[in-house]
Structure 1
Amino acid sequence: MALLSSRYNHLLLKLLLLLLCLAVMYGLLYPGVYGRGYYDDYHNLSPLNSVHDFRTALVFIFSGEAGPIGRPLSLASFIIHAGGWVENIGEILHLNLLIHMLNVILVFIFSNLIGSRLGFYGKRKYYFSIAVSVIWGLSPINFPAIFIPIQRMAVLSGFFVFLGLIVYIYLLTRFESSKKGIFVSLSALMVFSLLATLSKESGALLIPLALLIDYFWFKDSKCSYHATDKGVRYSVRFMRRSVLWVLVLFIYVYMAYLGGNWFEVAGIRGYSPLDRLTTQSVILFEYVFYTFIPDVFYYHPFHDGYDVVLYNDFKFIVSLFSWLALFCGAYVVRKKVPIIMFSIVFYFLAHSSESTFLMLELYFEHRNYIASLGIVILFVWFVFLINNLSKLSLVFLPVYILIIAFSSNQLAILWSDHETSAQIWFDLNPASARAANNYAIVLQENGASVGSLIGIFDEASFRCESCIITRMESLSLSCYVNEGEDRGRIKVRLEEVVDKIPSALPSSALLKLPMNLLDSYSAGECSAIGLDDVEKLMSALMKNEELMKVSGYASSVHHMLYRFSKLNGDLFAAEKHIMKAFEISKKFPIYSEIMNYYYKSGNDTKVAEMISLMENSRPFNPAKRIAWDIQFNQINGLYENGE
């Protein structure tokens, strides 16, 4: 009885220490919930204000554009915040933080399992798990994933990945030698992989990570707890791994297909898949460095000015040979010290979708949310290894955790101070148009004059000669200048923008200025810029060949030309452009305008023709099809009811 009581007290103390760590971590990170929204947040979450019933909730959930499948599970998690955007950003960020805390618990459990595989027992395994989960949970590299509202997608996907790995390890140890276990373990893995992928496409990497776990966990017969027949055990293992290998090959072959021509420079990005791959080899080292060496001013949402690193750049050569040396060293000692190879491969696998050749933006810290766990495990294992040689590590680890904790808390405080953080990020990122835009928005919210905002963008344009977006923002604000503003300077801005648009990299921001000017001109709010100036901008957009190759952008350009032609009284040109926009991209706003145009003109034949054309564009993706059907029926219902 006394022995049982002692064990119970021991477990209770362990639980209390874990809860204390979670409570302190929560308190340190909590100031971050007073942060704000950034560029992608508004695009993805603004439709929340249109959600007011079950039907509109379905439209929001299944019409996402953040990835190929729309990430409906992540969007569904935002439904509880419907109707309050942007005032309820604090609630959104708080829920992000709570999900992160759940992930810390999952990381603790996962680390405990890994600790068993490493031969840690009792207190040693417990402290190993505590150290991994605390360092990972407080690491500033994960901060943007938690406190950028839309990056709940990364945090939620991470939840299903971590939970899926834990369940998979449990099922492997429970049914390792059973043929039935193949079905049970792989079925569970597919369920969690689906949930993770519906949260964010990179969640599909749960399968490669599970294959890594399979090899690491069952490297030899010592890890088989329930096997009695060695031949059966190995045949079951072979079948299970064969299925996993097929799934992994499918994932990476599909990714290679999406990557396109490795040597062709993509107009939308300005670099090729090969250029991106060489750049990522350098960035992956930077991620590792900033995972462990905190710099409060480094972690932010504005890395859009990151430069491409080419194959002949010295930084790439150094990073390539460094990675090769690490892999070779890890391979040589893989039998004696498997954790080194496991951690490095874990890190690379978790980065293999967003940090390789797929034509995404170059740099985002939130891509480390899952990947950083691999190198944190290696770091803590190394400290424990040193502890066998010197007791100094017992002092080092708590001191290091205190440094990480202090840095994370200061980072949370910085992000909660909107104006200070915006100014710092603007000053430190001269090539980031987004940082300049964020700073201007914050100043505007605090009552700054239009002249001050124009000054911000003019300064950004001066610091970055190639930045066209900041020049466009200055020109857009010229609509609201005082009568005393220098009109000559406005014309200079216009000429600079018109001159740079044809060679600018395609982006939605490139279309923002003409759209804003059309809105302002239609409302009679823009006295500084005339309709002829808008026409110059439209012509410049049409000359941007790379922009017009992207269907969504080309459709938007023709849609703007339709509006411009209507303002100019040229209805023939207006009809031509709206039909061209629809031909390129059959989006509902364009479809609705065309239906309205033909319905009001009494052209029933054209109305029927448009309905038929739109029906043929029904998406293949079953998730997106739900929202598509609702919007299609809604628009058609308006005209059938004579509205």
Structure 2
Amino acid sequence: MNIQVKKAQKIQLCCVFLLVITLCLYFIYAQAKGLTWQFDDFANLKGLATADSYQGIINFVFGGGAGPTGRPISLLSFIPNVNDWPNNPWGFVQVSLFWHVLNSLLVFFIAYKLFSIQDKFQNNAWWMACFTTFFWCFSPMQVSSILMPVQRMTLVSAFFSLITLAYYIWWRIKYAGKSSLWQLVTMSLFVSLGVLLSLYSKENGVLTILYIGLCEILLLNDLAKPVYKKLWFFWSKLSLIIVPLFLLLYGLVTWKGITNNFNYYREFDLSERLATELIILFDYIKQIVIPRAIDFGPFHDDYKIYDWSMYQTWLALSFWVLIIISVVYLFIKNPKTVWVKFLTFSILFFLAAHLIESTFIPLELYFEHRNYVAILGVSLLIAVLIAESLYVVTSKFIVWFFVFIYSAIQIYSTQQVTSIWGQPLVAAELWAMRHPESARAIQTLSWQYRLYDFEDASIKILNEFYQKHPEHISVGMGTMIQMCSTSAHSPKNLKVYFYGLIDHSSKVKAPLELTTGLASLGGLIREGRCTGVALDDYQNFLYKLLTLPRVQKNPKIRHHINYEIALNYQYSGNQQLYIDFAKKAFYDYPSLSIAQIIALKLFQMHENQAAMRWIDESLSYAPTNAAKKSWIVSLSSLKNSIKQTDESLKIVDKSHE
């Protein structure tokens, strides 16, 4: 009876703790209620505008381009916010907070189970799990994952990753020593499903397998084996090495594409990325353990690029090599010492969580949300260090006093960060001051100035930045767009500025910038709002962009430029050249929307047979992932409509005969 009472009390305490966590999280994040959209939101969420029907939902969920998988599970999680788009980013954050609370519950379960199987921590497992959860969910490093609407992808992927890890830990403890082959099969199927769901939410979900391997080898290895020792030895070691082997194989198979991506897409090469990430990983740890509210934010595109000729790179490499060797050595020498096991696990778990986003994959250098799951290892370690201190320090009051102060710093830092996000203009000015070399920070500040009708200030900061950094052509185009949108600039000034864009186009280091604002600028020129800049000038600019080596090697960039050229021909009345260049844009980067537009244009030109042939051809370019169904449904429906119209016209023609 006493055991049942204690269990009931623990359940009640857990519920109270979860309720308190939820209320505190909502209160702190409610400080950001006035927040606005961020740079990746429109590109990934604009499809919500038409996701109010079955076909619209299918197109949105299976039409994602944020990663190789399309991330349909994450995109599905945005459907509840269809009515919040595009005017209510706070509505997105509220749903994201719900996911964060679910993840916090899973973190508590994982921590409690891991601590409760350690003899030394059994009596302290509950409060240690509470502190782990508190540190994890209130870390200021988590703020951007929740307040950037599109980063719900991170939260959803983490949910499936954490629930898979939680299930594995529960299964491992429950079936220790049972020697059940069927249970091994059941567990393997559940883990596989969880990894797939996490993977199709965000690609780093595949790391869940590695998390399980680290848990097994470092924290669960003392438990009796759940199946035959040889079979379990194979399963556990496979879970530890399969992801690194997969990444190695992926790197070898796609090596040419990876190097081309670095050479023609990024402003840094592979060597510089590896050197810089060594330092960034150290910065992440520093920000997690000793947070400074002023250093958090969405803009880190100005992060200094390091190479192997700099002493900082070698210091960082020496630091990580020393840390890894030391913790592995400690674990080998003291495999039964609890704090050593958690220290080793925490360091390796943190590094494992960055195995994809901080190695050779040609992604951007620095994002805070990459630490969303990685913080779990640090959180567990801090709880262990507190527990160990209570055994060592004579006065427990001193330990709890410092824990209280440290916890207060965490909460205060998070509250400061969220309150900054809740004041978009103040946040934009602060981020621009902290990151004066960040093109995104300057563009965001310019946008905020424009919202408050500070047009002159908006143009001024863009122009000043562009004069210093002509390689950031997106800023130059943003300046041009605003100049065209006001009547305060003469045709001569607009023409001179536009020719400056043409001259500086060859200096671009990150070709993606060529597409940022290109459609808006083209629209203004075609509407005649950029007086002094003729359509021929813009067309020559686009043709020059196509001659740039980095553009010639980058089909995604050519896609945008070719479609702008097509729109210019459409505006001038040359429908055939419009179709030709629209097809070039499609071949460079197959898009369902462009396939539909071309078919409809051919239909409008009464070339019904050509329209149907084009639909058949474009279907051969449909992606092989889950988005293929969306292509087939949409284009087949369009083809049937054209076919029915064509047959109706033939019947009418025959009746006239």
TM-score, normalization by structure 1: 0.92
Q: CA 1:105–1:245 in 2, change beyond 3 Å: closer, same or farther?
A: closer
Could you say what secondary structure the match of 1:333 adopts? helix
Pick from 339, 346, 362 the counterpart of residue 359 of structure 1.
362
- Tell me the distance in 1 between the aligned counterparts of 2:191 and 2:494: 59
Look up the match of 2:445: 439
- Tell me the distance in 2 between the aligned counterparts of 1:513 and 1:142: 30
- Tell me the distance in 2 between the aligned counterparts of 1:15 and 1:560: 56
Equivalent pair of 1:164/1:193 in contact (CA under 8 Å):
yes
Could you say what secondary structure the match of 1:527 adopts? coil
One-letter amino acid matched to 2:246 = I
Look up the match of 2:409: 403
- Tell me the distance in 2 between the aligned counterparts of 1:134 and 1:101: 11
Look up the match of 1:219: 221
Within a 5 Å distance, the mapping from 1:175-194 to structure 2 comes to: 175-176=175-176, 177-194=179-196
Equivalent pair of 2:164/2:191 in contact (CA under 8 Å):
yes
Moved more, 280-289 or 109-118: 109-118
Q: CA 1:4–1:571 in 2, change beyond 3 Å: closer, same or farther?
A: closer
After TM superposition, give the deviation of residue 174 of structure 1 in Å.
2.5
After TM superposition, give the deviation of residue 190 of structure 1 in Å.
0.6
Q: CA 1:441–1:522 in 2, change beyond 3 Å: closer, same or farther?
A: same
Look up the match of 2:386: 383
Look up the match of 2:202: 200
Look up the match of 1:238: 233
Could you say what secondary structure the match of 2:193 adopts? helix
Q: CA 1:258–1:357 in 2, change beyond 3 Å: closer, same or farther?
A: farther
Q: CA 1:256–1:207 in 2, change beyond 3 Å: closer, same or farther?
A: same
Moved more, 535-544 or 402-411: 535-544
Look up the match of 1:130: 130
One-letter amino acid matched to 1:72 = P
Query: How many residue pairs get matched?
Result: 633
Q: Percent identity?
A: 23
After TM superposition, give the deviation of residue 85 of structure 1 in Å.
0.8
Post-superposition Cα deviations, 1:577-615, rounded to whole Å, max 9, x if no partner, equal: 233333333323332343234334444553343233113
Equivalent pair of 1:111/1:377 in contact (CA under 8 Å):
yes
- Tell me the distance in 1 between the aligned counterparts of 2:611 and 2:42: 34
Look up the match of 2:78: 78
Look up the match of 2:153: 153
After TM superposition, give the deviation of residue 346 of structure 1 in Å.
0.5
Look up the match of 1:516: 520
Equivalent pair of 1:33/1:147 in contact (CA under 8 Å):
no
Post-superposition Cα deviations, 1:146-184, rounded to whole Å, max 9, x if no partner, equal: 110010010111111111111001112233432222212
After TM superposition, give the deviation of residue 205 of structure 1 in Å.
0.8
After TM superposition, give the deviation of residue 243 of structure 1 in Å.
4.7
Equivalent pair of 2:280/2:366 in contact (CA under 8 Å):
yes
Within a 5 Å distance, the mapping from 1:198-347 to structure 2 comes to: 198-220=200-222, 223-224=223-224, 233-241=228-236, 243-244=238-239, 247-249=242-244, 251-257=246-252, 260-261=255-256, 265-334=262-331, 335=335, 336=337, 337-347=340-350
One-letter amino acid matched to 1:204 = V
Moved more, 503-512 or 130-139: 503-512
**2:652 is the counterpart of 1:639:** no
- Tell me the distance in 2 between the aligned counterparts of 1:516 and 1:6: 64
Within a 5 Å distance, the mapping from 1:411-490 to structure 2 comes to: 411-449=417-455, 451-482=456-487, 484-485=488-489, 487-490=491-494
Q: CA 1:559–1:143 in 2, change beyond 3 Å: closer, same or farther?
A: same
Look up the match of 1:562: 566
Equivalent pair of 1:255/1:353 in contact (CA under 8 Å):
no
Equivalent pair of 1:457/1:470 in contact (CA under 8 Å):
yes
- Tell me the distance in 2 between the aligned counterparts of 1:510 and 1:258: 29
Moved more, 386-395 or 239-248: 239-248
- Tell me the distance in 1 between the aligned counterparts of 2:498 and 2:309: 38
Could you say what secondary structure the match of 1:69 adopts? coil
- Tell me the distance in 1 between the aligned counterparts of 2:3 and 2:505: 78
One-letter amino acid matched to 1:235 = K
Moved more, 489-498 or 393-402: 489-498
Within a 5 Å distance, the mapping from 1:521-600 to structure 2 comes to: 521-570=525-574, 573-600=577-604
Equivalent pair of 1:182/1:236 in contact (CA under 8 Å):
no
Post-superposition Cα deviations, 1:199-224, rounded to whole Å, max 9, x if no partner, equal: 1111111111111112123423xx22
- Tell me the distance in 2 between the aligned counterparts of 1:563 and 1:344: 53
Equivalent pair of 1:259/1:357 in contact (CA under 8 Å):
no
Equivalent pair of 2:60/2:75 in contact (CA under 8 Å):
yes
Q: CA 1:258–1:534 in 2, change beyond 3 Å: closer, same or farther?
A: farther
After TM superposition, give the deviation of residue 425 of structure 1 in Å.
0.8
After TM superposition, give the deviation of residue 24 of structure 1 in Å.
2.4
One-letter amino acid matched to 1:458 = N
- Tell me the distance in 1 between the aligned counterparts of 2:107 and 2:121: 17
Within a 5 Å distance, the mapping from 1:22-171 to structure 2 comes to: 22-171=22-171
Post-superposition Cα deviations, 1:293-341, rounded to whole Å, max 9, x if no partner, equal: 2221211111112232112221111110000110111011102422221
Post-superposition Cα deviations, 1:374-424, rounded to whole Å, max 9, x if no partner, equal: 122222322322232223222111110011111111111111111100111
After TM superposition, give the deviation of residue 197 of structure 1 in Å.
1.1
After TM superposition, give the deviation of residue 234 of structure 1 in Å.
1.5
- Tell me the distance in 1 between the aligned counterparts of 2:347 and 2:302: 28
Could you say what secondary structure the match of 2:37 adopts? coil
Look up the match of 1:627: 630
Equivalent pair of 1:502/1:545 in contact (CA under 8 Å):
no
One-letter amino acid matched to 1:187 = L
Q: CA 1:372–1:533 in 2, change beyond 3 Å: closer, same or farther?
A: same
One-letter amino acid matched to 1:474 = T
After TM superposition, give the deviation of residue 478 of structure 1 in Å.
1.8
- Tell me the distance in 1 between the aligned counterparts of 2:135 and 2:583: 56
TM-score, normalization by structure 2: 0.90
- Tell me the distance in 2 between the aligned counterparts of 1:9 and 1:601: 74
Could you say what secondary structure the match of 2:295 adopts? coil
Equivalent pair of 1:503/1:544 in contact (CA under 8 Å):
no
Q: CA 1:350–1:468 in 2, change beyond 3 Å: closer, same or farther?
A: same
Q: CA 1:565–1:205 in 2, change beyond 3 Å: closer, same or farther?
A: same
Equivalent pair of 1:478/1:528 in contact (CA under 8 Å):
no
C-alpha RMSD over aligned residues: 2.5
After TM superposition, give the deviation of residue 489 of structure 1 in Å.
4.1
Q: CA 1:604–1:18 in 2, change beyond 3 Å: closer, same or farther?
A: closer
Equivalent pair of 1:555/1:584 in contact (CA under 8 Å):
yes
Could you say what secondary structure the match of 2:642 adopts? helix
One-letter amino acid matched to 2:443 = N
Please list every run of 5 or more consecutive structure 2 residues that lacks an aligned counterpart in the other structure: 647-657
